[in-house]
Amino acid sequence: MNHRVFALALATLASMSLQGAAAQGLRPSGASPSGKSGLSAPSARPPATPSITLPEPGVGAAPRSADFIVAVVNSEPVTNYEVRSRLARAEAQLAKQGGAMPPRDLLAREVLERIILEKVQLQQARESGIKVDDVAVAQAEQGVARQNDMTVEQLYARLARDGMSRERFREELRNQLLQQRLREREVEARVKVSDLDVDQFLREEQKGADPSAMEINLGHVLVLVPENASPVQVAERQARAQRAADKVRAGEDFAAVAREFSDAAEGQRAGGLLGLRPADRYPELFVNSTLGLPVGSIVGPVRSPAGFHVLKVVERVTAGMPATVVQNHARHILLRTGPQLSETAAVARLADYRRRVLAGQADFAALAREHSQDGSAKDGGDLGWANPGRYVPEFEQALDTLKPGEVSEPLVSRFGVHLVQLLERREAKLTQREQRDMARGTVREKKLDEAYATWAQELRGRAYVEYRDPPQ
């Protein structure tokens, strides 16, 4: 079967469901410079908002027929009707996307396997004591409606026309949130991203990139070698370049070394700096010698027809990484949930704080200092400026919907329940460190996909599955 068709089919099987942690793409994030905790996605990016595709009109439910059990998963049955309902939605979505349709029996088998995996995960989540309060389901409802440019009531009117009840839809949302929380707990701890992983990713990106799309600023020391130089002269010139390289590697100021050793004009004029420019405006030798190296790296001496060169990577705008982003400056109040405080109770308490702030009866920063259970409490909940992807998806989505000065409704994340106020928004140029953090997030997303696939296989392998009559 065509790989692309399978990919489309599998994507479609996720219709009406929140994507899992791997699919949600946890976004890149570095530790907060101020050491604030409780918000950042672990060393990561994606997450992407919950993605839900509404069923096409008329395919919300499968045609009624005699129902029977097609499989048993750890004593829990999977019915023919469950498979037919999901299959109808998958086929409608594939038809809408165009392209070849997989054979129906093969697609039905994939649908069945996905349902089995979902049931195994839900059973594991419940055995682990993971719960999802009604407030989290309501938050997910609002997110789905917003994605589809509807109110919640319009969403349910649409679903009712397609044969899906409010109760069934909320059950699917709750189940997907359970799976999401299980994946966050079980999979994320498996993923570590090293500096070597980031370096390798950047090298691969740069090798495949259009040179005009990447900009670099190099420090340059040139030790000229005269034409027709004797071997003794060449050796003396190389030794001089090596002394320059040794000095900068030992920590001496590059500009000072360039002024002392370089025969190039910029050595005296600009401390050896060649300036930020597209890579295709540098000699190929310079680009190839520094490709994939982190900022601050020293290269050389390397030989060209002109002589010996010592290069320093001063600045790099990485290909494929944005040069500028829109940053948010926000503050929040976090209440951590547990046996002593349910999500519902936390939401009610934060809703009261919000009411008091909007009525001018309380100051947000004062409430944060008194009540927030995050490291930012001492700063009145202030989180400073943050790039896109710094926070977990639910928090990020709330920020995206706010205008400066506005306060969100209480929102649930894996850390607890938050009240968020957006203070300012600006466009800013990414630093080298921030670009590298974004690359780290991309690497983490890829590793999360791999870790999720491995974990899901392990979980599936431990389950008892009995196949009965095939779906019809």
pLDDT on residue 189: 80
How far is 11 from 5, CA to CA, in rounded Å? 10
pLDDT at 368: 95
Residue 244 has a CB neighbour count (10 Å cut-off) of 27
382 near 448, Cβ under 8 Å?
Answer: no
Helix-helix angle 134-147:152-161, to 10 degrees: 80
C-alpha to C-alpha distance for 132 and 127, rounded to whole angstroms: 14
Query: In sequence order, what are the beta bridge partners of 278?
Result: 215
Q: Which amino acid is at 468?
A: R
- Residues 166, 134: Cα–Cα separation, whole Å: 13
User: Where along the chain do its domains lie?
Assistant: 3-192+451-467, 215-317, 324-429
CATH number of the domain at 215-317, please? Answer: 3.10.50.40
Instruction: Give the model's pLDDT for residue 349.
Output: 95
Ramachandran class of 280: left when φ > 0, alpha when ψ lies in -120 to 50, beta otherwise: alpha
Q: What share of the chain is helix, strand, coil (3-state, %, to 5)?
A: 50, 15, 35
* Same fold: 3-192+451-467 with 215-317: no
Helix (H, G, I), strand (E, B) or coil at 325: strand
What CATH number belongs to 3-192+451-467? 1.10.4030.10
pLDDT (0 to 100) of residue 336: 93
> Which residues, 6 or more positions from 361, have their beta carbon under 8 angstroms from its beta carbon?
none
Please tell me the predicted confidence (pLDDT) of residue 263: 87
Q: What is the pLDDT of residue 13?
A: 39
- Give the pLDDT of the chain (472 residues) as one tens digit per residue: 333 333 333 333 343 333 332 222 223 333 333 334 345 443 332 333 344 555 555 544 544 556 889 889 998 999 888 888 888 888 888 887 776 788 888 888 889 999 999 999 999 999 988 888 888 888 888 888 887 888 888 888 888 887 788 888 999 899 988 988 888 888 888 888 898 888 888 777 766 555 556 778 899 999 999 888 899 999 999 999 999 999 999 988 898 898 889 888 776 777 888 888 888 788 888 888 887 787 888 998 999 888 999 999 888 776 556 667 888 999 999 999 988 899 899 999 999 999 999 999 999 999 999 999 999 999 999 999 988 878 888 888 889 889 999 999 999 988 999 999 999 999 888 777 777 787 888 788 888 888 888 898 889 889 998 888 887 7
466 close to 75: Cβ distance less than 8 angstroms:
no
Q: What is the predicted pLDDT for the residue at 24?
A: 25
Q: Identify the helix (H) or strand (E) that includes residue 82.
A: helix 80-97
Q: Quote the pLDDT of residue 249.
A: 92
Distance of CA 148 to the CA centre of its chain: 22
Closest CA to 140 of 409, 368, 394, 451: 394
What whole-number distance in Å separates Cα of residue 374 and Cα of residue 379?
10
In this prediction, residue 245 carries a pLDDT of 92
CATH class of 324-429: alpha beta
Three-state SS for 425-454 is EEEEECCHHHHHHHHHHHHHHHHHHHHHHH
